[in-house]
Structure 1
């Protein structure tokens, strides 16, 4: 196996979190690896709504933090939320300085829109619904020009390497069909979410939670894996992944209705701006009851939809639906994972030498239900922090290293079975019977592909969902519809270090 030794951090993942971390490592040398070309196969590039930040005169970081805590179902870490929102304006300014073309008003100020569960308009957008790709494009340009940064756009993470002390000291990756051992003083995981575990998702299908499984196999703790956010308005047009109808449409007055025109959440003008978990359940029930669910933009937005929301307009028209004339069919889709690798606001995990940022991390800012458009802010703000801290890590002294755990690969047919099972039994609404069937399916698939990271990630979601006998935030149990009086986290401990054989006397 080829071996590469780095003087600085290894960053795994080329989305907004990974690139932000990589840029902030300077002047320390760093290597960023991603299995696909930058801008491909990462959720950051697909984000439509924008970046939440206290930019308006009527707003403040404290109010933003309060909205974040209120949306999170009792599981948001208030200090982490404030650490995030305090950096909102400076993060937007940093990205704008790198060339991110945020929309501006007539006075040159950042234009902001309102999304669900935000008390005020605070979501900075780009081109109406093109924020993610535009922001990420600016970072890609900066990363390619950075002298301290090397980039491999054809390398896939297989395992983490640990010293016998338990510290992560590198990774095994696959590049060009060959395995490469990379030794580094720090590894930053920015591997994205788990949307690809679901048959109906708005995220790239390549994101299957493998970073979570690989981190846990290396000893890292996992926090709240059962909490999956389902975006209530994915276009129901038979595409995989499903095109997204950004929440900003409802922020501008678009309404959710059934096929008879009845409001799904009530006639009140604010009803459709409830937290995402509530809206997703209303849409899910309308679909399963046969009433259908539709997003009607005609009255509130009208002909402006083509100019102000070009991504949504193009997707709808490609399916033969003109939103200026007809309501858009929608359904909930797996969109964001609130759970992940337990990490602090600097990205530190429970394992020395290992950092996690972005959607693969659980820093405490999202709780049981992510506040809309906080994810891009978290990826950039905490990604920057993690990059700075990881760049100060010193390489571990040479010594014994544990054999890395490398799981099997799922076949395409097995992955399809898993995705169908996850959508059916670990979707918007769950119960013990369905979750038990899902775990049985995972067991059967694991017999043919032992230790496959995608299966390990799916098992975390299913088993934690089965154990959480309540409904809270994005986790809804039809057999346990009430919310417990005490909010408790789920914490899965990482794999222990293998026992060291004792020496026997001669």
Structure 2
């Protein structure tokens, strides 16, 4: 059995930053089920939020973050993010990372929704994520980090003391291998590709969350999902992201007739918090009215937003007409695997960082351009923590009975799961729809899926198993939170009422999931 000191699963900004920092003293293996450049971080058009101007302060950044998060944020995590941000960005620039500057050589700071100051750094206009990842990959190449691409982690190995001691992987040739590690880090991103309309990379499918739940880790706040207001919308499908920075430069959301839809909805109009803009656009589309971004006032659009321009060109959108058709779609998960300030989960030896982790920093709705920042700041924090971690003596592997697939059950295709999740747990939710989704998911015997051994299923089957488990976590959490707050909007509780907000977090671990499943009508029917 191969043994490493640190095993990191993922290839986004949080994974790379953790690996680079930890490798200063530890032998690190980075495993990704696709390629190093295939991640949400690489696709990120938006920038990095940081208080660096004379007019701005970390305090202002903190207040904007908490207000966007609908006051559900973990205050300690927010403080760590905003106070560390200037240092983290300064270190990045000092190491050679280039952000856009004006003709005088000063950093250009953009404006995005729900920010009170211009504090968004960009690189090459709307390709910030790509250029940060390329910069980190150059640093990674100089480190001693080993990399395994096209390799899927299909199971976490548990010790007889209930700690995490390794991973089971399937390589590109289909061979199952076992690798032990003193510290296992999940940096697998959120679950965006489980939704029919999404800005996420196809690989971001919730695998890390399902792996952690099966291992006994606590999962929280899965109801809080951010839907980005503006995905390119053609022929009934979303085709990619149209950056919020476009609205930051003056673009307006309008109907076919030119009506400005955000004018009387919020004081910040088109730069209102994302959940408000997304819900407004959705309401028009539901009534059969298409919504567009009017970009006619941006004179140098192709130069300012080359990535968006290329996306439009690829899909036959003529920018000369000054309108880009848009629709909202899944963008970011605020919930995930519960961690502390160091990245530790409730399972010894298991860590999580980036979007897959839930530190509480984003609250109920992430502030624009805090995601790349989160990966940099908390990836660095975890990496430096692992640098100093003492050697861990691993216990014996826990011996468990191998479980086979549930009898007489045919799992749905991923496309069916995506449609169900988008329709019943999308931008607008209610108890009836969530109940239908939950019952449909439970019909696939989730309790058995939690016990399924990776040796008894193909990669394709395991992907569907994980999708069902994570979709159930979303449905159960959304049903339990009987209020509207941030990214979680329920039409049966339509008013955000800060006087009576529920302060209770929806936290689910393996034991709690089984308990709730056994209490369901569907479970009793199947067992009968």
Instruction: Indicate conservation of the 8 Å contact 1:157/1:172, yes or no.
Output: yes
2:34 aligned partner: 36
TM-score by structure 1 length?
0.92
1:164 aligned partner: 160
268-277 vs 134-143, which moves further: 268-277
Give the CA deviation at 1:109.
Answer: 2.7
Give the CA deviation at 1:211.
Answer: 0.5
Secondary structure at 1:66 match in 2? helix
2:294 to 293, 296, 299: 296
1:418 aligns with 2:417: yes
Instruction: Indicate conservation of the 8 Å contact 1:414/1:445, yes or no.
Output: no
307-316 vs 154-163, which moves further: 154-163
Distance 1:44 1:344 in 2: 23
1:460 aligned partner: 473
393-402 vs 68-77, which moves further: 393-402
2:378 to 359, 372, 382: 382
Cα displacement string for residues 271-330 of structure 1 (whole angstroms, at most 9, x for unaligned residues): 11110000000010011111221110102x03x110000111111122222223231110
1:64 aligns with 2:79: no
2:429 aligned partner: 430
Paired positions, count: 490
2:501 aligned partner: 486
| CA pair 154-258 structure 1, distance change in 2 beyond 3 A | same
1:501 aligned partner: none
Distance 2:236 2:99 in 1: 29
Instruction: Indicate conservation of the 8 Å contact 2:165/2:394, yes or no.
Output: no
317-326 vs 451-460, which moves further: 317-326
Alignment of 1:13-28 (within 5 A): 13-25=10-22, 26-28=24-26
1:350 aligns with 2:346: yes
Secondary structure at 1:260 match in 2? coil
Instruction: Indicate conservation of the 8 Å contact 2:114/2:268, yes or no.
Output: no
1:470 aligns with 2:483: yes
2:136 aligned partner: 139
Instruction: Indicate conservation of the 8 Å contact 2:213/2:510, yes or no.
Output: yes
| CA pair 361-67 structure 1, distance change in 2 beyond 3 A | same
Runs of at least 5 residues in structure 2 that lack an aligned partner in the other structure: 451-464, 513-528
Instruction: Indicate conservation of the 8 Å contact 1:98/1:142, yes or no.
Output: no
TM-score by structure 2 length?
0.88
**Root-mean-square deviation (Å):** 2.3
1:4 aligned partner: 2
Runs of 4+ in 1 over 4 A off after TM superposition: 238-241, 403-413, 445-449
Distance 2:403 2:252 in 1: 48
Distance 2:315 2:32 in 1: 32
Distance 1:286 1:489 in 2: 33
160-169 vs 353-362, which moves further: 160-169
Give the CA deviation at 1:239.
Answer: 8.5
1:504 aligned partner: none
| CA pair 238-209 structure 1, distance change in 2 beyond 3 A | farther
Cα displacement string for residues 146-172 of structure 1 (whole angstroms, at most 9, x for unaligned residues): 1x2111112211111122222111111
Instruction: Indicate conservation of the 8 Å contact 1:169/1:396, yes or no.
Output: no
1:97 to 90, 94, 103: 94
Instruction: Indicate conservation of the 8 Å contact 1:225/1:490, yes or no.
Output: no
Give the CA deviation at 1:136.
Answer: 0.6
